[in-house]
Structure 1
Amino acid sequence: MAQADPADRDRLIVALDVPSVDAAEAMIARLGDSVGFYKIGYQLAYAGGLPLVEKLARAGKKVFVDLKLHDIGNTVARGVESLSSLGATFLTVHAYPQTMKAAVEARGTSGPKILAVTVLTSYDDRDLVDAGYALGVRDLVEARARQAQAIGVDGLVCSPEEAGHLRSLIGPDMTLVTPGIRPAGTAAGDQKRIMTPGKAIAAGASYLVVGRPVMEAADPKQAADAIVAEIAAAK
Protein backbone atom coordinates (compact mmCIF):
# COMPACT_ATOMS: atom_id res chain seq x y z
CA MET A 1 0.00 0.00 0.00
CA ALA A 2 1.29 3.48 -0.87
CA GLN A 3 2.42 5.81 1.90
CA ALA A 4 -0.59 7.69 3.24
CA ASP A 5 -0.82 11.46 3.06
CA PRO A 6 0.08 12.68 6.59
CA ALA A 7 -3.01 14.87 6.61
CA ASP A 8 -5.20 11.83 5.97
CA ARG A 9 -3.27 9.65 8.38
CA ASP A 10 -3.66 12.15 11.21
CA ARG A 11 -7.44 12.19 10.83
CA LEU A 12 -7.45 8.68 12.32
CA ILE A 13 -7.12 8.71 16.11
CA VAL A 14 -6.40 5.25 17.51
CA ALA A 15 -7.75 4.71 21.02
CA LEU A 16 -5.12 3.13 23.25
CA ASP A 17 -7.69 1.39 25.43
CA VAL A 18 -5.25 -1.03 27.07
CA PRO A 19 -4.47 -1.80 30.72
CA SER A 20 -0.80 -0.80 30.86
CA VAL A 21 1.81 1.51 29.42
CA ASP A 22 3.78 -1.53 28.23
CA ALA A 23 0.79 -2.74 26.22
CA ALA A 24 0.28 0.74 24.77
CA GLU A 25 3.92 1.08 23.74
CA ALA A 26 3.89 -2.35 22.14
CA MET A 27 0.88 -1.38 20.03
CA ILE A 28 2.41 1.97 19.11
CA ALA A 29 5.54 0.19 17.91
CA ARG A 30 3.44 -2.29 15.96
CA LEU A 31 1.47 0.47 14.23
CA GLY A 32 4.60 2.48 13.37
CA ASP A 33 4.15 5.25 10.82
CA SER A 34 0.62 4.13 9.95
CA VAL A 35 -0.77 6.11 12.90
CA GLY A 36 0.17 9.62 13.92
CA PHE A 37 -2.59 10.39 16.44
CA TYR A 38 -3.51 8.47 19.61
CA LYS A 39 -6.19 8.75 22.27
CA ILE A 40 -5.44 8.15 25.93
CA GLY A 41 -8.56 7.70 28.02
CA TYR A 42 -9.52 6.55 31.49
CA GLN A 43 -8.12 3.04 31.39
CA LEU A 44 -4.59 3.94 30.34
CA ALA A 45 -4.45 7.30 32.13
CA TYR A 46 -5.35 5.66 35.44
CA ALA A 47 -2.77 2.94 34.80
CA GLY A 48 0.08 5.47 34.73
CA GLY A 49 -0.34 6.52 31.11
CA LEU A 50 -0.29 10.32 31.37
CA PRO A 51 3.53 10.56 31.04
CA LEU A 52 3.07 8.73 27.73
CA VAL A 53 1.36 11.89 26.44
CA GLU A 54 4.64 13.79 26.75
CA LYS A 55 6.65 10.92 25.29
CA LEU A 56 4.42 10.67 22.23
CA ALA A 57 4.40 14.43 21.73
CA ARG A 58 8.20 14.52 21.82
CA ALA A 59 8.23 11.75 19.21
CA GLY A 60 6.14 13.88 16.87
CA LYS A 61 2.82 12.14 17.50
CA LYS A 62 -0.41 13.91 18.39
CA VAL A 63 -2.37 12.94 21.49
CA PHE A 64 -6.02 13.25 22.43
CA VAL A 65 -6.44 13.14 26.23
CA ASP A 66 -9.99 11.92 26.73
CA LEU A 67 -10.78 12.41 30.41
CA LYS A 68 -14.17 14.11 29.98
CA LEU A 69 -13.62 16.55 32.83
CA HIS A 70 -16.72 17.69 34.70
CA ASP A 71 -16.78 19.29 38.14
CA ILE A 72 -17.14 22.71 39.69
CA GLY A 73 -15.49 25.39 37.59
CA ASN A 74 -12.41 25.88 39.77
CA THR A 75 -11.64 22.16 39.83
CA VAL A 76 -12.00 21.87 36.06
CA ALA A 77 -9.76 24.90 35.54
CA ARG A 78 -7.00 23.52 37.75
CA GLY A 79 -7.21 20.17 35.98
CA VAL A 80 -6.89 21.81 32.57
CA GLU A 81 -3.91 23.83 33.77
CA SER A 82 -2.14 20.70 34.98
CA LEU A 83 -2.86 18.75 31.80
CA SER A 84 -1.81 21.64 29.54
CA SER A 85 1.87 21.00 30.27
CA LEU A 86 1.78 17.51 28.72
CA GLY A 87 1.70 18.60 25.09
CA ALA A 88 -1.66 17.08 24.14
CA THR A 89 -3.49 18.31 21.05
CA PHE A 90 -7.04 17.71 22.36
CA LEU A 91 -8.61 17.48 25.83
CA THR A 92 -12.23 16.59 26.50
CA VAL A 93 -14.75 18.00 28.94
CA HIS A 94 -18.45 17.27 29.26
CA ALA A 95 -20.60 19.83 27.45
CA TYR A 96 -22.09 21.59 30.48
CA PRO A 97 -21.83 25.38 30.21
CA GLN A 98 -19.96 26.02 33.47
CA THR A 99 -17.52 23.21 32.72
CA MET A 100 -16.85 24.38 29.16
CA LYS A 101 -16.37 27.99 30.23
CA ALA A 102 -13.88 27.06 32.95
CA ALA A 103 -11.91 24.83 30.58
CA VAL A 104 -11.70 27.44 27.83
CA GLU A 105 -10.56 30.13 30.25
CA ALA A 106 -7.93 27.86 31.84
CA ARG A 107 -6.59 26.66 28.49
CA GLY A 108 -5.48 30.13 27.46
CA THR A 109 -3.63 30.42 24.16
CA SER A 110 -1.08 27.64 24.60
CA GLY A 111 -3.04 24.74 26.06
CA PRO A 112 -4.70 21.86 24.24
CA LYS A 113 -7.79 22.44 22.15
CA ILE A 114 -10.90 21.83 24.24
CA LEU A 115 -13.45 19.38 22.89
CA ALA A 116 -16.91 19.20 24.45
CA VAL A 117 -18.57 15.79 24.64
CA THR A 118 -22.19 16.28 23.59
CA VAL A 119 -23.95 12.92 24.19
CA LEU A 120 -22.05 9.66 24.57
CA THR A 121 -22.31 7.39 21.53
CA SER A 122 -23.53 4.53 23.73
CA TYR A 123 -26.68 6.55 24.57
CA ASP A 124 -29.95 6.65 22.68
CA ASP A 125 -33.19 8.52 23.44
CA ARG A 126 -34.33 5.89 25.94
CA ASP A 127 -31.07 6.19 27.87
CA LEU A 128 -31.51 9.95 28.13
CA VAL A 129 -35.05 9.51 29.49
CA ASP A 130 -33.72 7.06 32.06
CA ALA A 131 -31.08 9.64 33.06
CA GLY A 132 -33.74 12.32 33.59
CA TYR A 133 -33.30 14.38 30.44
CA ALA A 134 -36.35 15.92 28.76
CA LEU A 135 -34.64 16.16 25.37
CA GLY A 136 -33.82 13.38 22.95
CA VAL A 137 -30.34 12.81 21.54
CA ARG A 138 -30.65 15.07 18.50
CA ASP A 139 -32.11 18.04 20.39
CA LEU A 140 -29.67 17.75 23.31
CA VAL A 141 -26.68 17.49 20.97
CA GLU A 142 -27.85 20.56 19.07
CA ALA A 143 -28.40 22.60 22.24
CA ARG A 144 -24.99 21.68 23.63
CA ALA A 145 -23.29 22.41 20.31
CA ARG A 146 -24.75 25.91 20.22
CA GLN A 147 -23.66 26.54 23.82
CA ALA A 148 -20.16 25.23 23.10
CA GLN A 149 -19.75 27.48 20.09
CA ALA A 150 -20.95 30.54 22.02
CA ILE A 151 -18.49 29.83 24.85
CA GLY A 152 -15.53 29.43 22.49
CA VAL A 153 -14.92 25.69 22.72
CA ASP A 154 -12.66 24.47 19.91
CA GLY A 155 -14.65 21.43 18.90
CA LEU A 156 -17.19 18.77 19.70
CA VAL A 157 -17.19 15.03 20.26
CA CYS A 158 -20.31 13.61 18.69
CA SER A 159 -21.70 10.52 17.05
CA PRO A 160 -21.06 10.32 13.31
CA GLU A 161 -24.84 10.27 12.94
CA GLU A 162 -24.92 13.87 14.19
CA ALA A 163 -21.84 15.07 12.29
CA GLY A 164 -23.64 16.23 9.16
CA HIS A 165 -26.33 18.12 11.06
CA LEU A 166 -23.80 19.72 13.39
CA ARG A 167 -21.52 20.75 10.55
CA SER A 168 -24.40 22.60 8.93
CA LEU A 169 -25.30 24.13 12.30
CA ILE A 170 -21.88 25.31 13.51
CA GLY A 171 -20.13 25.93 10.20
CA PRO A 172 -16.67 24.85 9.02
CA ASP A 173 -14.42 26.14 11.77
CA MET A 174 -15.17 23.96 14.79
CA THR A 175 -13.51 20.54 14.97
CA LEU A 176 -15.80 17.50 14.99
CA VAL A 177 -14.34 14.33 16.48
CA THR A 178 -16.43 11.20 16.04
CA PRO A 179 -16.12 7.94 17.95
CA GLY A 180 -18.56 5.15 17.12
CA ILE A 181 -16.64 4.36 13.93
CA ARG A 182 -17.02 0.81 12.68
CA PRO A 183 -15.57 -0.30 9.32
CA ALA A 184 -17.92 -2.48 7.29
CA GLY A 185 -18.02 -6.02 8.63
CA THR A 186 -16.93 -5.21 12.19
CA ALA A 187 -19.07 -5.61 15.31
CA ALA A 188 -20.90 -2.60 16.82
CA GLY A 189 -20.00 -3.69 20.35
CA ASP A 190 -21.54 -1.36 22.95
CA GLN A 191 -21.96 1.53 20.51
CA LYS A 192 -25.49 2.45 19.40
CA ARG A 193 -24.88 5.35 16.96
CA ILE A 194 -22.22 4.19 14.50
CA MET A 195 -21.00 4.78 10.94
CA THR A 196 -18.26 3.62 8.58
CA PRO A 197 -15.11 5.77 8.25
CA GLY A 198 -15.87 6.98 4.74
CA LYS A 199 -19.44 7.96 5.54
CA ALA A 200 -18.35 9.82 8.70
CA ILE A 201 -15.78 11.89 6.80
CA ALA A 202 -18.30 12.61 4.05
CA ALA A 203 -20.79 13.72 6.70
CA GLY A 204 -18.40 16.38 8.01
CA ALA A 205 -16.25 14.70 10.67
CA SER A 206 -12.78 16.20 11.15
CA TYR A 207 -11.26 13.23 12.99
CA LEU A 208 -12.31 9.63 13.60
CA VAL A 209 -11.64 7.79 16.86
CA VAL A 210 -11.22 4.06 16.34
CA GLY A 211 -10.42 1.57 19.07
CA ARG A 212 -11.34 -2.08 18.85
CA PRO A 213 -11.45 -2.37 15.02
CA VAL A 214 -7.72 -1.52 15.04
CA MET A 215 -6.57 -2.68 18.46
CA GLU A 216 -8.22 -6.11 18.20
CA ALA A 217 -7.49 -6.71 14.52
CA ALA A 218 -5.32 -9.65 13.51
CA ASP A 219 -3.09 -7.11 11.77
CA PRO A 220 -3.60 -3.69 13.45
CA LYS A 221 -1.29 -1.87 11.03
CA GLN A 222 -3.21 -3.21 8.04
CA ALA A 223 -6.51 -2.26 9.68
CA ALA A 224 -5.27 1.29 10.32
CA ASP A 225 -3.98 1.63 6.75
CA ALA A 226 -7.35 0.54 5.39
CA ILE A 227 -9.18 3.14 7.43
CA VAL A 228 -6.78 5.89 6.32
CA ALA A 229 -7.31 4.83 2.70
CA GLU A 230 -11.07 5.09 3.22
CA ILE A 231 -10.63 8.56 4.73
CA ALA A 232 -8.59 9.66 1.70
CA ALA A 233 -11.18 8.30 -0.72
CA ALA A 234 -14.03 10.10 1.06
CA LYS A 235 -12.58 13.61 0.89
Structure 2
Amino acid sequence: MAQSSLLHELRSQSPLVHCITNIVVANFQANGLLALGASPIMAGAIEEAAEVAAVSSCTLLNIGTLDSSVVESMIAAGKSASIKGRPLVLDPVGAGATVFRKRTVAKLLEELEITLIRGNAGEIASIAGVEWEAKGVDAGDGSANIVEAAIDVARRHHCLVVVTGETDIVTDGEKIIRITGGHPLMARITGMGCLLSAVCAAFLSVGKHALLDAVAYSLAFYKKAGELAAERASGPGDFAVHFLNAIFQMDDAAIELGQIVVEEGVVK
Protein backbone atom coordinates (compact mmCIF):
# COMPACT_ATOMS: atom_id res chain seq x y z
CA MET A 1 0.00 0.00 0.00
CA ALA A 2 1.36 3.39 -0.98
CA GLN A 3 1.92 5.84 1.82
CA SER A 4 -0.46 8.35 0.25
CA SER A 5 -3.39 5.93 0.52
CA LEU A 6 -3.03 5.24 4.22
CA LEU A 7 -5.25 8.06 5.47
CA HIS A 8 -7.97 7.21 2.94
CA GLU A 9 -7.74 3.55 3.88
CA LEU A 10 -8.00 4.34 7.58
CA ARG A 11 -11.08 6.48 7.12
CA SER A 12 -12.65 3.83 4.90
CA GLN A 13 -12.06 1.04 7.40
CA SER A 14 -12.61 3.05 10.63
CA PRO A 15 -10.44 0.65 12.64
CA LEU A 16 -11.47 -0.21 16.18
CA VAL A 17 -8.63 0.99 18.41
CA HIS A 18 -8.57 -0.67 21.83
CA CYS A 19 -6.93 1.61 24.39
CA ILE A 20 -5.95 0.50 27.86
CA THR A 21 -4.85 3.94 28.81
CA ASN A 22 -4.53 6.46 31.61
CA ILE A 23 -7.23 8.58 33.23
CA VAL A 24 -5.48 11.85 32.42
CA VAL A 25 -5.74 11.47 28.64
CA ALA A 26 -8.60 9.05 27.92
CA ASN A 27 -11.08 11.70 26.74
CA PHE A 28 -8.58 13.55 24.55
CA GLN A 29 -7.34 10.27 23.13
CA ALA A 30 -10.84 9.07 22.26
CA ASN A 31 -11.80 12.39 20.66
CA GLY A 32 -8.57 12.42 18.66
CA LEU A 33 -9.23 8.95 17.29
CA LEU A 34 -12.78 9.92 16.36
CA ALA A 35 -11.50 13.05 14.58
CA LEU A 36 -9.01 10.88 12.69
CA GLY A 37 -11.76 8.54 11.51
CA ALA A 38 -11.04 5.60 13.80
CA SER A 39 -13.32 4.09 16.46
CA PRO A 40 -11.94 4.16 20.03
CA ILE A 41 -12.84 1.71 22.77
CA MET A 42 -11.42 2.11 26.28
CA ALA A 43 -11.73 -1.29 27.98
CA GLY A 44 -9.31 -1.88 30.83
CA ALA A 45 -11.15 -4.38 33.03
CA ILE A 46 -9.56 -7.80 33.29
CA GLU A 47 -12.99 -9.36 32.74
CA GLU A 48 -13.15 -8.07 29.15
CA ALA A 49 -9.71 -6.82 28.07
CA ALA A 50 -8.75 -9.96 26.14
CA GLU A 51 -12.18 -10.25 24.53
CA VAL A 52 -12.14 -6.64 23.34
CA ALA A 53 -8.58 -6.98 22.01
CA ALA A 54 -9.63 -10.03 20.01
CA VAL A 55 -12.22 -8.05 18.05
CA SER A 56 -10.24 -4.81 17.77
CA SER A 57 -8.07 -3.73 14.85
CA CYS A 58 -5.18 -2.88 17.17
CA THR A 59 -4.43 -2.45 20.87
CA LEU A 60 -2.61 0.30 22.75
CA LEU A 61 -1.10 -0.22 26.21
CA ASN A 62 -0.41 3.07 28.02
CA ILE A 63 1.08 2.96 31.55
CA GLY A 64 0.48 6.61 32.44
CA THR A 65 -1.65 5.99 35.54
CA LEU A 66 -0.51 2.55 36.52
CA ASP A 67 -1.86 0.06 39.04
CA SER A 68 -1.30 -3.66 39.49
CA SER A 69 -4.74 -4.73 38.22
CA VAL A 70 -4.29 -2.88 34.94
CA VAL A 71 -1.00 -4.69 34.31
CA GLU A 72 -2.82 -8.03 34.23
CA SER A 73 -5.40 -6.55 31.86
CA MET A 74 -2.61 -5.33 29.58
CA ILE A 75 -0.99 -8.75 29.46
CA ALA A 76 -4.31 -10.47 28.74
CA ALA A 77 -5.19 -7.95 26.02
CA GLY A 78 -1.71 -8.04 24.52
CA LYS A 79 -1.65 -11.81 24.22
CA SER A 80 -5.10 -11.79 22.68
CA ALA A 81 -4.11 -9.14 20.13
CA SER A 82 -1.02 -11.11 19.10
CA ILE A 83 -3.00 -14.34 18.68
CA LYS A 84 -5.27 -12.48 16.26
CA GLY A 85 -2.29 -10.93 14.45
CA ARG A 86 -3.24 -7.38 15.39
CA PRO A 87 -0.71 -4.57 16.01
CA LEU A 88 0.19 -4.01 19.66
CA VAL A 89 1.60 -0.62 20.72
CA LEU A 90 3.27 0.13 24.05
CA ASP A 91 3.45 3.69 25.39
CA PRO A 92 5.86 3.41 28.36
CA VAL A 93 4.88 6.70 30.04
CA GLY A 94 7.48 7.64 32.65
CA ALA A 95 9.22 4.29 32.20
CA GLY A 96 12.18 5.27 34.32
CA ALA A 97 10.36 7.33 36.94
CA THR A 98 9.76 4.56 39.50
CA VAL A 99 10.76 0.97 40.17
CA PHE A 100 7.14 -0.10 39.60
CA ARG A 101 7.11 1.40 36.13
CA LYS A 102 10.49 -0.08 35.23
CA ARG A 103 9.38 -3.53 36.34
CA THR A 104 6.05 -3.21 34.54
CA VAL A 105 7.65 -2.25 31.23
CA ALA A 106 10.14 -5.11 31.56
CA LYS A 107 7.28 -7.53 32.26
CA LEU A 108 5.23 -6.35 29.30
CA LEU A 109 8.20 -6.58 26.96
CA GLU A 110 9.07 -10.04 28.25
CA GLU A 111 5.58 -11.52 28.00
CA LEU A 112 4.14 -9.76 24.94
CA GLU A 113 4.95 -9.46 21.24
CA ILE A 114 5.03 -5.68 20.95
CA THR A 115 4.76 -4.19 17.46
CA LEU A 116 5.79 -0.65 18.37
CA ILE A 117 7.20 1.15 21.40
CA ARG A 118 6.49 4.90 21.23
CA GLY A 119 8.15 7.08 23.83
CA ASN A 120 10.18 10.19 24.49
CA ALA A 121 13.94 10.15 24.82
CA GLY A 122 13.91 9.54 28.59
CA GLU A 123 11.51 6.60 28.29
CA ILE A 124 13.45 4.91 25.50
CA ALA A 125 16.74 5.52 27.31
CA SER A 126 15.31 3.85 30.42
CA ILE A 127 14.28 0.75 28.44
CA ALA A 128 17.70 0.66 26.79
CA GLY A 129 19.40 0.97 30.19
CA VAL A 130 21.51 4.00 29.27
CA GLU A 131 22.29 7.10 31.33
CA TRP A 132 19.56 9.73 31.18
CA GLU A 133 18.10 12.28 33.59
CA ALA A 134 14.37 11.97 33.03
CA LYS A 135 11.99 14.35 34.81
CA GLY A 136 8.95 12.33 35.85
CA VAL A 137 7.06 11.59 32.65
CA ASP A 138 8.94 14.30 30.72
CA ALA A 139 11.84 13.55 28.40
CA GLY A 140 14.54 15.19 30.54
CA ASP A 141 18.15 15.47 29.37
CA GLY A 142 21.06 13.17 28.76
CA SER A 143 24.28 12.72 26.83
CA ALA A 144 23.63 9.18 25.60
CA ASN A 145 23.19 8.54 21.87
CA ILE A 146 19.42 8.13 21.78
CA VAL A 147 19.44 6.84 18.19
CA GLU A 148 21.76 4.00 19.19
CA ALA A 149 19.55 3.35 22.22
CA ALA A 150 16.45 3.11 20.01
CA ILE A 151 18.21 0.73 17.62
CA ASP A 152 19.28 -1.45 20.53
CA VAL A 153 15.74 -1.60 21.94
CA ALA A 154 14.30 -2.42 18.51
CA ARG A 155 16.75 -5.28 18.02
CA ARG A 156 16.41 -6.71 21.52
CA HIS A 157 12.63 -6.71 21.47
CA HIS A 158 12.11 -7.35 17.75
CA CYS A 159 9.84 -4.36 17.30
CA LEU A 160 9.65 -0.85 15.92
CA VAL A 161 10.76 1.99 18.18
CA VAL A 162 9.75 5.64 17.94
CA VAL A 163 11.51 8.41 19.86
CA THR A 164 9.48 11.59 19.69
CA GLY A 165 10.86 15.08 20.08
CA GLU A 166 11.68 18.11 17.97
CA THR A 167 12.63 15.58 15.30
CA ASP A 168 10.98 12.16 15.58
CA ILE A 169 12.96 8.99 14.95
CA VAL A 170 11.55 5.59 14.03
CA THR A 171 13.65 2.46 13.55
CA ASP A 172 13.19 -1.25 13.07
CA GLY A 173 16.76 -1.88 14.20
CA GLU A 174 18.06 -1.82 10.63
CA LYS A 175 16.73 1.36 9.05
CA ILE A 176 16.32 4.83 10.58
CA ILE A 177 13.70 7.36 9.48
CA ARG A 178 13.63 10.93 10.79
CA ILE A 179 10.50 13.09 10.69
CA THR A 180 10.72 16.86 11.04
CA GLY A 181 8.04 19.49 11.66
CA GLY A 182 5.51 20.08 14.38
CA HIS A 183 5.24 23.08 16.73
CA PRO A 184 6.37 23.89 20.31
CA LEU A 185 2.74 24.25 21.46
CA MET A 186 2.40 20.48 21.07
CA ALA A 187 4.53 20.11 24.20
CA ARG A 188 2.13 22.34 26.18
CA ILE A 189 -0.84 19.95 25.97
CA THR A 190 -1.09 16.90 28.19
CA GLY A 191 -1.86 13.76 26.27
CA MET A 192 -0.30 14.76 22.95
CA GLY A 193 2.17 11.89 23.08
CA CYS A 194 -0.48 9.49 24.32
CA LEU A 195 -2.81 10.39 21.46
CA LEU A 196 0.09 10.00 19.03
CA SER A 197 0.60 6.43 20.23
CA ALA A 198 -3.07 5.71 19.51
CA VAL A 199 -2.80 7.35 16.08
CA CYS A 200 0.24 5.19 15.32
CA ALA A 201 -1.74 2.11 16.33
CA ALA A 202 -4.60 3.10 14.02
CA PHE A 203 -2.28 3.61 11.05
CA LEU A 204 -0.47 0.34 11.79
CA SER A 205 -3.78 -1.49 11.58
CA VAL A 206 -4.22 -0.40 7.94
CA GLY A 207 -0.52 -0.49 7.01
CA LYS A 208 0.37 -4.01 8.10
CA HIS A 209 2.36 -4.79 4.95
CA ALA A 210 4.80 -1.90 5.48
CA LEU A 211 4.86 -1.23 9.20
CA LEU A 212 7.87 1.08 9.29
CA ASP A 213 6.45 3.26 6.52
CA ALA A 214 3.04 3.34 8.21
CA VAL A 215 4.58 4.65 11.43
CA ALA A 216 6.67 7.26 9.60
CA TYR A 217 3.54 8.43 7.79
CA SER A 218 1.60 8.70 11.06
CA LEU A 219 4.37 10.81 12.60
CA ALA A 220 4.43 13.16 9.60
CA PHE A 221 0.64 13.41 9.70
CA TYR A 222 0.70 14.29 13.39
CA LYS A 223 3.41 16.91 13.09
CA LYS A 224 1.62 18.57 10.18
CA ALA A 225 -1.60 18.67 12.22
CA GLY A 226 0.36 20.46 14.95
CA GLU A 227 1.61 23.06 12.48
CA LEU A 228 -1.87 23.72 11.11
CA ALA A 229 -3.35 24.00 14.61
CA ALA A 230 -0.65 26.44 15.71
CA GLU A 231 -1.49 28.78 12.81
CA ARG A 232 -4.97 29.25 14.29
CA ALA A 233 -4.30 29.01 18.03
CA SER A 234 -3.57 31.83 20.48
CA GLY A 235 -2.25 29.50 23.21
CA PRO A 236 -2.48 26.01 24.68
CA GLY A 237 -6.20 26.27 25.50
CA ASP A 238 -7.51 26.64 21.98
CA PHE A 239 -4.57 24.77 20.43
CA ALA A 240 -6.07 21.49 21.62
CA VAL A 241 -9.37 22.32 19.90
CA HIS A 242 -7.67 23.41 16.68
CA PHE A 243 -5.51 20.29 16.77
CA LEU A 244 -8.56 18.01 16.81
CA ASN A 245 -10.03 20.05 13.97
CA ALA A 246 -6.78 19.73 12.00
CA ILE A 247 -6.78 15.95 12.39
CA PHE A 248 -10.37 15.88 11.15
CA GLN A 249 -9.81 18.22 8.19
CA MET A 250 -6.47 16.96 6.89
CA ASP A 251 -6.13 14.98 3.70
CA ASP A 252 -3.17 13.33 1.99
CA ALA A 253 -2.36 16.50 0.06
CA ALA A 254 -1.69 18.37 3.30
CA ILE A 255 0.97 15.93 4.47
CA GLU A 256 4.46 16.93 3.40
CA LEU A 257 6.25 13.66 2.78
CA GLY A 258 9.46 15.67 2.43
CA GLN A 259 9.40 15.71 6.23
CA ILE A 260 10.23 11.99 6.13
CA VAL A 261 13.95 11.37 5.66
CA VAL A 262 15.16 7.78 5.34
CA GLU A 263 18.76 7.15 6.35
CA GLU A 264 20.08 4.25 4.33
CA GLY A 265 23.05 2.18 5.34
CA VAL A 266 23.62 3.84 8.69
CA VAL A 267 22.89 0.95 11.02
CA LYS A 268 25.84 -1.34 11.69
- With the shorter chain as reference, the TM-score category is 0.3 to 0.5
TM-score normalised to the size of structure 1?
0.46
TM-score by structure 2 length?
0.42
